[in-house]
Amino acid sequence: MVSLNTSVSRPMTIELQMKEFKKANVTFNTALFGTLGIILLMLPIVVLLSYYSPSFFEIPSNQENATRILFFGVISAFLLRAWSSNFGVSIFAYNRLDLLNMINVINILVQVGLIILLFKLYSPSLVYIGLAYLIAAIVAFAVTVFFSHRINPHLTINIKDFRRSKVNEIMEMGGWVIITQIGSLLFLQIDLIVVTKLFGTLAGGEYSIALMWSSMLRTIAGLLIGILTPVILTCYIKGKIKELINLSKSAIKLTGFAMALPIGFICGFAPQLLSLWVGPEFVKLSPLILLMLFHLVINLPVMLLFDINIAYNKVRIPGIVTFWLGIGNFLLAVIIPSLTGWGYYGVAVAGAIVLTIKNALFTPWYATKVLGIPRTTFISSMFPGALAMFIIAGSCRLINFFVPISGFGALIVSGIIVTIVYIGSVWIFTKENIERHIIMSMIPSFIKHKFKT
């Protein structure tokens, strides 16, 4: 679904921004009916997987049919959401990320609400979970179509606008994006599998505690970067390349500042967080958390530069590099622990090394190559966030040294104090108009109105 959004959003955003609605309809209908055809071809596989799903797990005989319905409901819901993303692309093209987030919230609320309601009215059953997922996907699909039509009434469903030539264009970019995603999976998912296989399930459980924080921070960074993706495409469409470069530099700096706060707080209070959250016996994982998180303050903000590759349709080289570095991450995750005896710390070291090579070194360099600008253009924007993170982490350690944190109340109060001081400092530090503009664009309009009054 991500590769579809990426490969369709670029041409559709360009066509809609240039008010070429006829071309946009061709792109829209080609993607809509093309993915529908793929989904229809997949349905027999979905039915077979659902039917034989009980044989994949140890399921009691009286729960086999319920398991089949659960699998069919969940997979069908995923396919329906994938198809509905064709309508979501037009919402994305107009930078209405608030509506896309609202759709996701509605989907989750309907899922959870139906499961609770059905469990209350009847009895807990896997069947109701599968039905809840499918019904929630149908509701989310209807809401997506409604918002898409309201935002962009120029798009109409018409099979006559389907073009095979457009399929090749979409699939070419989509294919390389899929390769990039496979490489990214080897970065994000393979380490826990390696730890579990090499060191056992107990070590895997301990590693997953630290990995959870990393995953959460990646999600936050993805949300922040997603806000600016349509803006970068718009700058490219209008030929405002200098503005695009300045926007990217400021966005990297500000995303670094934004990520420095949670990363620095978690690293600074890692022993206290672990003790209060999972127990004192897990305080030993503090160095692992530091090792897995500290480099993210540089490696996450530069992900924004991949949007430049998408805008210029230069995704082949990044796809190849990401895939092979993903393979390298897997090999290093196996080799480093075996050579050094560092255990799962060696797996974390492998991930930090390879991710830094890809994000901190290759990604900025390739973006400058695409734009035809000096190689060091984005380097200066990467380090202020890192400096801020070390200052925050050090401040948190000092707070705990003078006022030992022994409960959630003290931890929350410390977090509030650090946050207020930090946000004030960042606001003073970001004197450039473009950076202030980016910050203000992320604040809801009713809050900005109160500031003005």
Instruction: Map tokens 């209350």 to a residue.
Output: 120
Instruction: Output 61 or 445, whichever has higher pLDDT.
Output: 61
- The CA distance from 285 to 271, in Å, is 8
The rounded mean pLDDT for the chain is 83
Instruction: Map tokens 């360099």 to a residue.
Output: 365
Which tokens go with 328?
């390298």
| 444 has a pLDDT exceeding 90 | no
| 448 has a pLDDT exceeding 60 | no
For 248, the enclosing helix (H) or strand (E) is helix 241-268
| 1 has a pLDDT exceeding 80 | no
| 335 has a pLDDT exceeding 90 | yes
22-26, 104-108, 228-232, 249-253: least confidently modelled range = 228-232
Q: What per-residue string of b and e applies to 331-356 under the rule 16 or more CB within 10 Å gives b?
A: ebbbebbeeeeebbbbbbbbbbebbe
Q: Are 349 and 336 in contact (CB under 8 A)?
A: yes
- Give the tens place of pLDDT for each residue, 359-399: 999 999 999 999 889 988 898 888 889 999 999 999 999 98
Q: How much is the CA Rg of the chain, to the nearest whole Å?
A: 24
- Give the tens place of pLDDT for each residue, 10-63: 777 777 777 888 888 888 888 888 888 888 888 888 888 888 877 776 667 777
Torsions phi, psi of 444, nearest 5?
-55, 150
83-87, 96-100, 181-185, 203-207: least confidently modelled range = 181-185
Q: Please report how the helices 190-199 and 316-340 are oriented relative to each other, as an axis angle in degrees rounded to 10.
A: 20
What pLDDT is attached to residue 367? 92
- The CA distance from 140 to 118, in Å, is 19
- Give the tens place of pLDDT for each residue, 109-149: 898 888 888 888 888 788 888 899 899 999 999 999 999 88
| 450 has a pLDDT exceeding 90 | no
Q: Which residues contact 397 (CB under 8 A, 6 or more apart)?
A: 268
What pLDDT is attached to residue 435? 63
Per this entry, what is the length of the chain? 453
DSSP classification of residue 357: I
- The CA distance from 192 to 205, in Å, is 9
Which tokens go with 425?
């400092």
Which tokens go with 176?
């390389």
| 3 has a pLDDT exceeding 80 | no
Instruction: Output 222 or 1, whichever has higher pLDDT.
Output: 222
- The CA distance from 98 to 100, in Å, is 6
To the nearest 10°, report the CA torsion of 143, 149, 77, 83: -170
For 119, half-sphere exposure in the C-beta direction (CA atoms, 13 angstrom radius) is 12
- The CA distance from 290 to 85, in Å, is 37
